[in-house]
Structure 1
Amino acid sequence: MKSTETRKNELEARRAQLSERMAQVESELEGHEEKDWDDAAIEHESDEVLEDLGQSAQSEMRAIDAALARIEAGEYGYCVTCGERIDEARLDLLPATPFCREHAPGAKAPRQ
């Protein structure tokens, strides 16, 4: 079982990676030269991919920031819906998750 401090360090390291990636994406988007029509069309497609990557990184950073806030509040590792402890294996896969497996978005409702 990983300590909360270890998880915090991992989340902060991932946040730093994402921040660096976002800076690279931003630099790439701003660094285009004037191109002919064909090159501009290809570049536009590339820009869309880069923008999607940037949005994905921003979303993950928000989740990490929320997880870091839960660590500071002493609430990390507990489901925000039911309050039960989140399985360690789930936290290994999704360290920023605020939900147990049962309450994760898209989880199937338990059988009764």
Structure 2
Amino acid sequence: MSDTTLSRLQRLHDDYAARSSALRRDLAARYSSDTAEQAQERENDEVMEALLAESSELQRRVALAIERYKQGEYGICQRCGEAIAPARLEALPAAEYCIGCADLAERQ
């Protein structure tokens, strides 16, 4: 793997961190004094909380991918030990499993 791979992973991690930070900031905002607006803001909060959970999980997965890269294990399936296809890594840079093992994990 090349340093461009590591740079790409670090940029992706930074993007997720920035997104999480912005969502946390938005969630900390005060509610309007208007009751109708408060109801809408609370619904928006539920959506933002779901986005924050997703962003935090993706950030965690990318951090693990960076660690695998540093240990020389990036691109190797964590289940079977085979190489993960480059096209899969291009689409899912934090992929832990080859497509076959990912399919098996989804079925279980």
Alignment of 1:57-96 (within 5 A): 57-96=55-94
CA distance in 1, matches of 2:107, 2:82: 16
Residue of structure 1 in register with 2:4 after alignment: 6
Decide whether the 8 Å contact of 2:31 with 2:41 is kept in 1: no
Question: What letter matches 1:52 in structure 2?
Answer: A
- Corresponding residue number in structure 2 for 1:106: 106
Shift of 1:23: 1.2
User: Following TM superposition, where does structure 1 have runs of at least 4 consecutive aligned residues deviating by more than 3 angstroms?
Assistant: none
Q: Counterpart of 1:19?
A: 17
Runs of 5+ consecutive residues of structure 2 not aligned to the other structure? none
User: What aligned pairs does 1:24-35 form with structure 2 within 5 A after superposition?
Assistant: 24-35=22-33
Give a deviation string over 1:83-111, Cα, whole Å, max 9, x none.
00000000000010110000013269xxx
SS of 1:103's equivalent in the other structure is: helix
Contact 1:86 1:99 in 2 (8 A): yes
Greater shift in the superposed pair: 94-103 or 30-39: 30-39
CA distance in structure 1 between the partners assigned to 2:107 and 2:94 by the alignment? 17
CA–CA distance in structure 2, aligned partners of residues 9 and 26 of structure 1: 25
- Does structure 2 retain, via aligned residues, the 8 Å contact 1:101–1:107? no
**In structure 2, distance between residues paired with 1:43 and 1:65:** 32
Identity of aligned residues (%): 31
Number of equivalences: 106
Specify the code of the residue in structure 2 equivalent to 1:27.
Answer: R
Over aligned residue pairs, what C-alpha RMSD do you find?
A: 1.5
Q: Distance in 1 between matches of 2:71 and 2:107?
A: 26
